Amino acid sequence: MQNETTGNATVKAHGMDGTLVEPDWPPLTCDEVRAVLGEFPAFDGPAEILTASPRPFSAAGIVATPGGRVFVKRHSRAVRDREGLAEEHLFMAHLREHGTRAPRVFTSRSGATAIEIGEWTYELHEIPEGVDLYEEAISWTPFRCAPHAQAAGEALARLHHAAEGFDAPRRKPRPLVAGFTIFAAEDPGAGLDCYLAARPSIANHAGVRRCANEALDLLAPFHAELAPMLPALAPLWTHNDLHASNLFWSDASESAQATAIIDFGLADRTNTVHDLAHAIERNIVEWLVLVNDPAHPDDVPIHFDHLEALLDGYESVRPLTDQEAAALAPMTALCHAEFALSEADYFLGVLNSEEKAVMAYDGWLAGHARWFRGAGGELPAALRRRAKTRETAQR
């Protein structure tokens, strides 16, 4: 039978091991999309779903409408309600007003940038200029080349400049947000207790607590290294998921430039170093190798040439302070911990999947901490050398 979402194609989603799998959320349908577009007068009328996004946490796709092509995204209200999306949309609007190319979010006839229908929440975005060059790329896979890494670093630095002055508070506790509270605390154990207490699905989960405690122990030296620099890291709203697939590009060449930044679902009030560390964590380490072969952590590729290009690009636009540069090594080991817990919260509290939650709290939270204390120590060591080199050069 023909799939009414994308012609004859069967919709697949990115799986946790890098393969394509059946999606957790049903794909958008034409009837559903037409009902949503009816709330947006500029796009109301006949509609055709042109593409289906393979990203796993929502259902989305490009839709042809009488008013032009738009990107329609549907969330479970347990993941994002109107209030939750409004947090993201206000940040995106601020960035656009200050020179960063983030997609415009369209307003419904009621004046809202998100609408709720039944158990779902919907948003409509403009499609940015440029090429979705990494559309099929999964997070934790590398750039195609070092010049793309440099362009991504430049784009992130421009975002950080544009984010200045956006003074919204930190987001409310929600699934799938990459915040920075546990290791921002003087006592990460107390920070962890507060984090878990605000999330009932993981608050009393024995496996989550066991792996979180293990991760705290393994990551304690990195927190001790970071702690003296924390007062120098000014709070800032940040993207927290700058993977190559969250950029649009000018063309498909090695010299392509980033034309827009998309997908602000993980954004929160953290700091620039946390965001830059996430960009390193997302693009420079091939974590999927560890997922598929955890017995051989030494085999996980680290793309050091891309790391240098990413940081050179960033600093060509926004040079790091000495304290920011020194903080980057420990922050890179720490930055993913909170999002791994947020994913566990999503898998347990929304999908009710213990199988997937184990991957988050054991494979990603504790597993990444083990790697950084072992074979992965080369990555923070390289960042420390870079920070030391700049100190020497300035003398």
The pLDDT averaged over each successive group of 10 residues in the chain (395 residues) is 46 88 95 96 94 95 96 98 97 96 96 96 97 92 97 98 97 96 97 97 97 98 98 98 97 97 97 98 96 94 98 98 98 97 98 97 97 97 94 65
Question: What pLDDT does residue 170 have?
Answer: 96
Question: What pLDDT does residue 394 have?
Answer: 65
Question: What pLDDT does residue 390 have?
Answer: 77
DSSP code per residue over 15-61: -TTSSEE--SSPPP-HHHHHHHHTTSGGG-S--EE------TTSEEE
- Per the CB < 8 A criterion, the answer to whether 127 and 103 are in contact is yes
The secondary element (H helix, E strand) that includes residue 117 is strand 115-117
CA-to-CA separations, 198 to 60, 173, 187, 193, 203, in angstroms, rounded: 29, 7, 17, 9, 7
The secondary element (H helix, E strand) that includes residue 186 is none
pLDDT tens sequence across 110-128: 999 999 999 999 999 999 9
What average pLDDT is seen over the chain? Answer: 95
DSSP code per residue over 70-104: EEEEEEETTT--HHHHHHHHHHHHHHHHTT---PP
Distance of CA 96 to the CA centre of its chain: 19
Domains of the chain: 13-125 (3.30.200.20), 146-394 (3.90.1200.10)
Question: What pLDDT does residue 8 have?
Answer: 40
pLDDT tens sequence across 308-357: 999 999 999 999 999 999 999 999 999 999 999 999 999 999 999 999 99
CA atoms within 13 A on the CB side of 29: 7
Q: CB within 8 A of 326, min separation 6: which ones?
A: 229, 384, 387
The pTM (predicted TM-score) of the whole model is: 0.95
User: Packing angle between helix 146-163 and helix 304-317, nearest 10 degrees?
Assistant: 40
